Structure 1
Amino acid sequence: MAEVSEKVELFSDEKRGRGVRATTFIEPETVLLVENPYILTLEEDYRRNRCNYCCKEREKLRACGGCNFVYYCDRQCQASNYSDHQYECKYLKSSGPECDIWIRTRTLLMALQKHLKMQKKRSRNVPTHNAQGFPLTPEVLYMKKYAPPSDEIPSPMPDMDRLWEFVKAKDLPITKDLFKKFQGILNANMFSVEDSHARCKIIGEGLYTRVAMFNHNCHPNCVFISNGREISVTSIRPISPGEECTISYLKVMAPTEARQRKLKKWYDFDCDCKRCVQDIEEDRLMYAIKCPQMNCRGSVLPWKPSNILNGRYLACDACHFDINETEVPDNIRQTEMEVEGFLSRKKNYDYQGQLLEECGPVLARLDAVYQPYHWRVYQVVKKAFKVALKLDQAETALLYGIRCQVALRNHLEVCVTLLGTNLWEVGQLQAQLGMNLEAVRTLREALPIMEIAYSGQHAVNVQAQALLATLTSTVKDALATPDNSHKGVYTQGSNVEEE
């Protein structure tokens, strides 16, 4: 069931295609949409310890008697999921519980069959959109522009047994138009399903037909948040009547060239938002390097950020030293190649600890050349932070988590929601390590940000409020002392001391 606010409507134009816009003034923290998935599939790592319907983690789950592949809390969850799982059950059974099946293809199987079965029951007079123009079924997602339902005859039923052979063989040609159509739908309109508990992690993917109507912007005015199987879209800034409501399809802490490359690869479009075409100064700061002059604390910025490997640099903003005729540009090119190689080796490790061990030397190399808010430093620090969390190395994770804040604070305007999530994770680590006063101060900064992004009684907000209340009662006297821990962190254009 999807709930769409009366404050928004669907629109279409030649440039943007379909999108969502405000019909009246919208204040921050306004929930614009709440939707459950048309189809949801859990990742392989979580299908045995999470319910295939509600996504909750349980110690004891019951396997589906038909396929023995998916698991449920109880009969109620199994019955609720039957309308979707019925389309894949017999195919999963034919390959056994340990079959190797891609999450996207499982979703494809269900979406195809569910759609075709609905087409048989639905007359042409039944609407496929609601009053505001939002789709009721996923097949309309593939159309580039918003249009009323057509009278086209549905594609014929594909041979599902042949499709399943394609799933297992991975190279059997499938030429059915409907198969290609739904592949396009999944590639462009799938959203990650995250655990609703403290340290959010991706546990699956879902097809959300109405959330998919929101277009991308690199400086969005809305954010979508997963709470188990449910996704909500909430405004994070004031939105004027007629203004488009946008979300970001990717993490915004990256320079324009990197964002554009990912958007083209994943979604096949070129972003022309204001941040992409005008904010060159922000890009320069994301590539800021340290001035090589002894005792100078200034920054050297690239002349053209999109050509960082072969371009020229501006003079130091403090001492005006020109690095273009020195060996520094060559050192930067070498550093970029090294860090790119490190970041590309995602799975070529014998164990997670090996990746964490390599982060130290890589960061030492980066720290010698780059400012601490350089986006490459942030990438490596964030990777180390995630791995340390996964390995339950609290002290190491805390150090890397605090280092992440340096970059997020320097690019605060577009990274405010990322900062809120980081502060929440850091606050938990501080509490875990007995640093109660520091945890209270961190959580007090995190909560106002989180309450904007995580709407209503989201599990994250409830947990943060409860933890803050517990910690506050233990450190009342110490809270009277002013906190200057963030002094100087927002300074741009100079070396920023690590916390």
Structure 2
Amino acid sequence: MSAKLERFVSPGKGNGLRATAKIKRGEVLFSAEPLACCVANKQVRDVCHHCFIRHKTLLRCSQCKMARYCSITCQKQAWPAHKRECKCLWSLLPRIPTDSVHLALRLIFALLSPSKGSTGVLYTLEEHESHLSSMSEQKRQGLSQLASMLEMYLQQEAPGLAQEMMSALPPSCRDPLSLIAKVTCNCFTISDGELREIGVGLYPSLSLLNHDCRPNCVMVFEGTKLQLRAVRDINPEEELTISYIETLSLTEDRQRQLKDQYHFTCRCQRCDTQDKDELMLFGDKATWRLLKEALPRLERLKAESDWQALFENCRHLLSTVGADIPDENLYKLRMIDMALDASVHLGHWAEAMRYGEKTLPVYRQYYPDPHPVHGVQLMRVGKLKHHLEHVDEALDIFKQAYGILKLTHGDDHPLTTDLLVKMEECRSEIDQQSSSTH
């Protein structure tokens, strides 16, 4: 943990982290590997279960049939952590644990392993809140079912020893229900460089960070390694904050999600002023409601990777209903983004570029720089421009992306190095065009 950070009690929030010295934007404040992590179920076929990098072809564990690896090396390195869960996963096939149960299972094995030290942490798992007392009965029942599933998996690993194993854990982690509650309230979504979800992990000290809908820090992952970076200049004594959720949503929806998932009411400046809500609902309500009502169906098509149907539905809705709604409208913007995804998957590059271009002015309004989401979107549109040989425009967009990503991801992140290569390719092509015309 950086010497520039310290633990403190944040008024109205409980435990928190604050700066002890001046911090400049772009500065790395913390870097850590997880205490435990696992690939998300919906990414299980596409991401290596050891290095967490996407690959088109993966080797499958011959026993549990669930774990997948990009190489023999990754498979061997993963085996010490995987061997205990492998038996649990195999014995209960075709049932597959939820992400939170899988993470809790890995956490138990990590805590029972003497190699997992916890020196230098500011916040231990023992101190993590379960929030069971503030949960609705319905939510407690749902977590109780997950706790029962966790016990069932443990019994497969060591019949009759599950109770003995749990007793070796820290006192507040011995009850399966309390452990599952702690995991669901304190885990982080692990994302790739382009901010797509790939897994979940526990980083105990970073659970001290409180939420703000316009935070002064962001978390970026490289594989499972997490980096906390400042995106604004931070003064001594100022609290460090991150966003727990995707912030491109209405105040009411953000508040509901934070209350349901993390058990608190956000009182940040953005929530108090309901900043951008009016802009997000721009346009005729009766018209944009048709777009809003269509989104769940489109999300299902996306989840099923039915790109052709998604593309046709989005294109039809955007050209008819959406034609009378400004691009700033939240529901239209979500549909444009889905049309962009579908176009890319289908190789419709010209349409993809057209949809991507529509999003950029809107992203600029909704994501104050430097924001990783805006940087990644710029890079995506730049790649489309480059592919379609709009080289000058591509270079300009890549430069804008680099201005953001060098602060949010850093120059050493694979995404930024890829971006720098793309910029060099554009410059080289522009030089060749220039010399051939003289």
| Category of TM-score, reference length = shorter chain | 0.7 to 0.9
Amino-acid identity (%)? 25
Q: 1:340 to 1:139 in 2, by over 3 A?
A: farther
Quote how far apart the aligned CAs of 1:140 are.
2.6
Correspondence 1:285 to 2:262: no
Spell out the pairing of 1:59-208 with structure 2 (5 A cutoff).
61-64=58-61, 66-74=63-71, 76-96=73-93, 99-115=95-111, 117=112, 130=120, 134-135=122-123, 137-142=124-129, 162-164=151-153, 178-196=175-193, 199-208=194-203
* In 2: Cα distance, 1:475 partner to 1:460 partner: 23
Q: How far apart are the structure 1 equivalents of 2:432 and 2:75?
A: 52
2-structure distance, mates of 1:391, 1:39: 36
| Structure-to-structure mapping, 1:336-347, within 5 angstroms | 336-345=288-297, 346-347=299-300
Cα-to-partner distance string for 1:110-166 (whole Å, 9 max, x where unaligned): 223433x25xx69xxx99673xx623x53432267xxxxxxxxxxxxx998852399
CA distance in 1, matches of 2:426, 2:87: 51
When the two structures are superposed, what TM-score results if normalisation uses the length of structure 1?
A: 0.72
Contact 1:423 1:442 (8 Å CA) reproduced: yes
- Which stretch has the larger CA shift, 436-445 or 56-65? 56-65
Once the two structures are superposed, residues 346-403 of structure 1 have per-residue CA deviations (whole angstroms, 9 ceiling, x without a partner) of: 2258722212211123224554543221222212112222232333332222111111
C-alpha contact 2:29 2:230 (8 A) present in aligned 1: yes
1:242 is aligned to 237
Q: CA deviation at 1:203?
A: 2.1
1:213 deviates by 2.1
- Residue 453 (structure 1) aligned to one of 408, 415, 421: 408
Q: Deviations over 1:427-460 (max 9, x none)?
A: 1111112221111111011101111111240000
Give the 3 Å change call, closer, same or farther, for CA 89–363 of structure 1 in structure 2.
Answer: same
Question: Paired residue for 1:427, among 371, 382, 389?
Answer: 382
TM-fit CA distance, 1:470? 1.1
Give the CA deviation at 1:260: 1.4
Per-residue deviation, residues 81-122 of structure 1 (Å, max 9, x unmatched): 3443233121112134x543322221122223433x25xx69
More helix by share: 2
The 1-side partners of 2:325 and 2:75 are apart by 53
SS at 1:182 equivalent: helix
User: What secondary structure, in the 3-state scheme, does the structure 2 residue paired with 1:203 have?
Assistant: strand
How many angstroms apart in 1 are the aligned matches of 2:149 and 2:42?
26
Cα contact 1:87–1:109 (8 A) shared by 2: no
Code of the aligned partner of 2:256: R
Structure 2 unaligned runs (5+)?
132-146, 157-172
SS in 2 for 1:243: coil
1:383 and 2:307 correspond: no
AA at the equivalent of 1:100: I
Structure 1 contact 10–19 (Cα < 8 Å) conserved = yes
Match of 2:31 among 31, 34, 47: 34
Tell me the number of residue pairs that the alignment of Structure 1 and Structure 2 aligns. Answer: 401
RMSD of aligned alpha carbons:
3.2
Question: Match for 1:466: what amino acid?
Answer: V
The CA deviation at 1:464 is: 0.2
Give the superposition deviation at 1:336: 4.3
Q: Secondary structure in 1 aligned to 2:430?
A: coil
Alpha carbons 1:9, 1:23 under 8 Å: kept: yes
**Paired letter, 2:348:** Q
Shift of 1:259: 1.7
> Normalization by structure 2: what TM-score?
0.81
Q: Distance in 2 between matches of 1:399 and 1:456?
A: 29
1:139–1:185 Cα contact (<8 Å) kept: no
What is aligned with 2:168?
A: none
Alignment of 1:223-372 (within 5 A): 223-280=218-275, 282-289=276-283, 332=285, 334-345=286-297, 346-347=299-300, 351-365=306-320, 367-372=322-327
Separation (CA, whole Å) in 2 of partners of 1:409 and 1:127: 43
Contact 1:366 1:377 in 2 (8 A): no
Partners in 2 of 1:268 and 1:448 — Cα distance? 36
Q: Is the Cα–Cα contact under 8 Å of residues 48 and 55 in structure 2 kept in the other structure?
A: yes
1: CA distance, partners of 2:148 / 2:326: 57
Answer whether contact 2:25 2:407 (CA < 8 A) is retained.
Answer: yes
Report the Cα distance in structure 1 between the residues aligned to 2:431 and 2:150, rounded to whole angstroms.
66
In 2, the alpha carbon distance for the partners of 1:93 and 1:7 equals: 46
Q: What secondary structure, in the 3-state scheme, does the structure 2 residue paired with 1:455 have?
A: coil
Contact 2:231 2:370 in 1 (8 A): no
Q: Is the 8 A contact 1:111 1:182 kept in 2?
A: no
Q: Which range moves more in the overlay, 58-67 or 34-43?
A: 58-67
How big is the shift at 1:254? Answer: 2.3
Aligned-partner SS, 1:376: helix
**Which consecutive unaligned segments of at least 5 residues does structure 1 have?**
145-157, 168-175, 290-330, 480-499
> For residues 149 and 290 of structure 2, what CA distance do their matches in structure 1 show?
46
Displacement of 1:16 after TM fit?
1.2
- Give, in whole Å, the separation in 1 of the partners of 2:36 and 2:342: 30
Structure 2 letter corresponding to 1:37: P
Residue 347 of structure 1: SS of its match in structure 2? helix
CA contact (8 A) 1:53 1:81 kept: yes
* 1:418 matches 2:415: no
- Judged with a 3 Å threshold, the aligned counterparts in structure 2 of structure 1 residues 416 and 67 are, in CA distance, closer, same or farther, namely closer
